[in-house]
């Protein structure tokens, strides 16, 4: 009886000694991640406003297989098609865009989050300057290098555009 029991004990100890310890994921500071996400959204807006090529700044923030859900338009998929939408907007006379995040949330794993905020767009498509005020929700995905990039963006106006000449 001693032989099989001793052999089983040695086998069990060998297996336990060779097994890797279970990796416990590090605690994620969700408040720090929310703050980081809010800052990423603010920086994105400020950078495109200050840029001579705002479309490039906007487009660079989207991951390759991102989605854009724009009002009165079909679903846009892919960073190149999203870039084309913003390039078309930028080509409109009088175009400018700014936005401000007001809220951010990050999932428990710290790798997905979203921001909600407001935007203001100006343009003069037919020579008459107009302003469009609205809201947005952007879904962000944390990249392996720790940066946040956009996986999906959705926006819509609060109402009809208003004339800037009134």
CATH assignment at residue 127: 3.10.450.50
Mean pLDDT of the chain: 89
Classify residue 7: in a domain, yes or no. no
pLDDT at 129: 95
pLDDT at 6: 58
Classify residue 105: in a domain, yes or no. yes
Classify residue 15: in a domain, yes or no. no
The two structure tokens encoding residue 102: 């007001």
List all residues 6 or more positions away from 62 whose beta carbon is below 8 Å from its beta carbon.
Answer: 68, 79, 82, 83, 149, 150, 151, 153
Classify residue 40: in a domain, yes or no. yes
Per-residue confidence band for 125, with pLDDT thresholds at 50, 70 and 90: confident
Beta bridge partners of 103: 116
Given a cut of 60, is residue 17 above it in pLDDT?
no
Largest CA distance in the chain: 99
Q: Domains in the chain: how many in total? A: 1
Per-residue confidence band for 144, with pLDDT thresholds at 50, 70 and 90: very high
Classify residue 145: in a domain, yes or no. yes
Classify residue 89: in a domain, yes or no. yes
Classify residue 19: in a domain, yes or no. no
Q: Is the model more confident about 147 or about 163?
A: 147
| Structural domain for 127, as ranges | 27-163
Classify residue 17: in a domain, yes or no. no
């Amino acid at each position: 009886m001693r032989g099989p029991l001793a052999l089983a004990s040695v086998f069990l100890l060998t297996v336990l000694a060779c097994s890797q310890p279970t990796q416990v994921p590090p605690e994620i500071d969700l408040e720090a991640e929310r703050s980081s996400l809010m800052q990423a959204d603010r920086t994105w807006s400020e950078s495109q406003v200050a840029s001579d090529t705002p479309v490039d700044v906007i487009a660079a923030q989207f991951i390759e297989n991102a989605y854009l859900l724009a009002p009165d338009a079909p679903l846009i998929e892919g960073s190149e098609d999203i870039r084309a939408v913003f390039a078309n907007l930028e080509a409109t006379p009088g175009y400018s865009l700014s936005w401000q995040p007001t809220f951010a949330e990050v999932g428990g794993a710290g790798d997905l989050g979203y921001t909600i905020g407001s935007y203001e767009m100006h343009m003069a498509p037919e020579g008459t300057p107009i302003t469009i005020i609205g809201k947005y929700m952007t879904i962000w995905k944390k990249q392996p290098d720790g940066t946040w990039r956009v996986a999906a963006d959705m926006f819509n106006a609060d109402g009809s555009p208003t004339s800037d000449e009134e």
